[in-house]
Amino acid sequence: MRVVIIGPAYPLRGGLATYNERLARAFREAGDEARIVTFSLQYPEFLFPGTTQYSTEAGPQDLDIEVSINSVNPLSWWRVGRKLRRERPDLVIFRFWLPFMGPALGTIARLVRGNRHTRLVTITDNAIPHEPRPGDRPLTRYFLPQNHGFVTMSRAVLADLRRLGLKQPARYQPHPLYDNFGPIVPKPEALRRLGLDPQYRYLLFFGFIRAYKGLDLLLQAFADERLRQLPLKLIVAGEFYEDAAPYEELIRVHQLEGRLVRATDFIPNERVADYFSAADLVVQPYKNATQSGVSQIAYHFERPMLVTDVGGLAELIPNGEVGYVVPPTPQAIADALVDFATNPEKEATFVAGARHYKQQFSWSEMVKALKAVAQPESRN
C-alpha cells in the first residue's frame, strides 16, 4: 500500500512531528510505502506562542519528507492537492488538531478525493479544541466531512465526532508508545546528567505549558504543608506557550522557588530519556484533555503517573495500578502526592503496572486501525 501522511514533521518540532515520523516507520515495518508531506509554514508567527517552530536537531535520514504546505497560502494547498490526486496513493492520513488547519487540509482533501481512488483517513486529536475560538465550527466542518474514516486516541473525541454529526467509520485506538526516545537510563545516571541531587525524589511536569494543562493546579498542590516536610522536588520541563507571569506569581506567593527544578525551554529529543528516567512520578494535572502523548512517554520509561480525571486520560491509567487518577483540584492532587511520597512501596507497584499495561500500546495496532477505517465496507 502507498501511504502519505499529511501533518507536522521535520524540520518542525514537537509531539505531533515526532508521532508522524514514528507512524511512517510503523507503516514501513508493515511492508507499506510511506512518506510524509509537511508544512513549510505551520503557523504565522503571531499565532505561535513558543520561541521557534523549527527543530535544531539533525533530520531523520530514513524518512521521505516533503516540505510543501503553507498553512496560509491557498496556492500551496492547490499544488499539494493536485499532485496527490495525480499520484493516486492508496491512503492519505491527515493529522487534525486545530480548526485553523481546516482550510488547508480541507482543500487538499477535496482535490485528492477527485481521483476516486485514494482513501482519506484522519487521526483526530481534537474534534472540538481545548481552547475554543470564534469560527472554529465552520473551519472544522470544512475539513472533517471530506474523510472516509477517522481514528481517535480517546473515546471523548470519538463522541465529539458523533456530536458533530459525522457518520463515517471511526475507531478508538489508544495512543501508541513513544518508544523513539531511547532506552531507560539508570536513575543515578539520569540524575547525574541533569545535575540533580540524589537525596531528593522528583515529580515531573513535562511538555508545553498551556492553561488547560493545569500547572497552576500542581503548583498550588505542591504548596501543601505536608509536602514541604518531605525530600521532594518538582521538575517543570517544557516551554511556556503563554504568559509565564501567573505561574511566577504562584511560585512567589507559595515560596516554591527552592523546591523547583526549572527546565522551561524546549526539551530536545535526546534529553527526554534523562527527565523521565530521573522522575519518580510523572504528573499530568490537566483541566481538560483528550489524550496525552506524555502518558505514552511515561509508559515507555515505565514511570508511575498521576493524572486528573478529565477527557481520555483516565482511560489509559488504571487507578491504583499504574498511578493515581484524581479530580482536577489542588487538594486531590496534593493528597495523592502525599500518599505516593510517604509510601515508598507504591513506586514498585506502579512500575510493575506500567510495565504490564504498556504492552497494549503498539504502533502495529495503530496501523491496522487506520487501514480498517479506510476500507469502503468498513462499519466500525
| pLDDT, average across residues 183-208 | 96
Residues 200 and 263 in one domain: yes
Whether 29 maps to a domain, the answer reads yes
Residues 103 and 21 in one domain: yes
Whether 243 maps to a domain, the answer reads yes
The pLDDT value given to residue 290: 64
| Contact residues for 112 (Cβ-Cβ < 8 A; gap 6+) | 81, 84, 85, 92, 118, 120
Query: How confident is the model over 318-361, as pLDDT tens digits?
Result: 999 999 999 999 999 999 999 999 999 999 999 999 999 998 89
Q: Which cell numbers hold the place of 311?
A: 477527557
Secondary-structure breakdown of the chain: helix, strand, coil percentages, each rounded to the nearest 5: 45, 20, 40
DSSP-based three-state secondary structure for 69? strand
Find cell 486545530 and name the residue.
Answer: 98
Whether 379 maps to a domain, the answer reads no
Residues 194 and 169 in one domain: no
Whether 181 maps to a domain, the answer reads no
Q: How far is CA 124 from the centre of its chain?
A: 12
Q: Provide the CATH number for the domain around residue 298.
A: 3.40.50.2000
Query: How confident is the model over 13-23, as pLDDT tens digits?
Result: 888 999 999 99
Instruction: Give yes or no for residue 48 having a pLDDT over 60.
Output: no
Whether 167 maps to a domain, the answer reads yes
| pLDDT, average across residues 169-184 | 91
pTM over 0.85: no
Residues 276 and 297 in one domain: yes
Q: CB neighbours (10 Å) of residue 192?
A: 14
Distance CA 287, CA 251 (A): 19
User: Under the phi-then-psi rule, with left for phi > 0, alpha for psi from -120 to 50, and beta for the rest, what region is 314?
Assistant: alpha
| pLDDT, average across residues 136-162 | 94
Strand order, beta sheet including 33-41 = 65-70, 33-41, 2-6, 91-96, 119-124, 149-152, 170-172
- Sort 367 into a burial class: Cβ within 10 Å, 0-12 / 13-18 / 19+: buried
Average pLDDT, the chain: 92
Residues 191 and 261 in one domain: yes
Residues 170 and 223 in one domain: no
Instruction: Give yes or no for residue 56 having a pLDDT over 80.
Output: no
Residues 144 and 243 in one domain: no
The pLDDT value given to residue 43: 80
Query: How confident is the model over 284-331, as pLDDT tens digits?
Result: 999 987 667 899 999 999 999 999 998 778 888 999 999 999 999 999
| pLDDT, average across residues 203-230 | 94
Whether 351 maps to a domain, the answer reads yes
Query: Considering its fold, how many domains does the chain have in total?
Result: 2
93 is in which domain, residue-wise?
Answer: 2-176+362-374
Whether 182 maps to a domain, the answer reads no
Residues 297 and 366 in one domain: no
Residues 200 and 161 in one domain: no
Whether 380 maps to a domain, the answer reads no
| pLDDT, average across residues 193-202 | 97
Q: Which cell numbers hold the place of 92?
A: 492519505
The pLDDT value given to residue 132: 73
DSSP string, 301-320: TT--EEEESSTTHHHHS-BT
Residues 277 and 150 in one domain: no
Residues 125 and 197 in one domain: no
DSSP-based three-state secondary structure for 260? strand
Residues 337 and 265 in one domain: yes
The pLDDT value given to residue 164: 92
Instruction: Give yes or no for residue 209 having a pLDDT over 60.
Output: yes
Q: Provide the CATH number for the domain around residue 93.
A: 3.40.50.11930
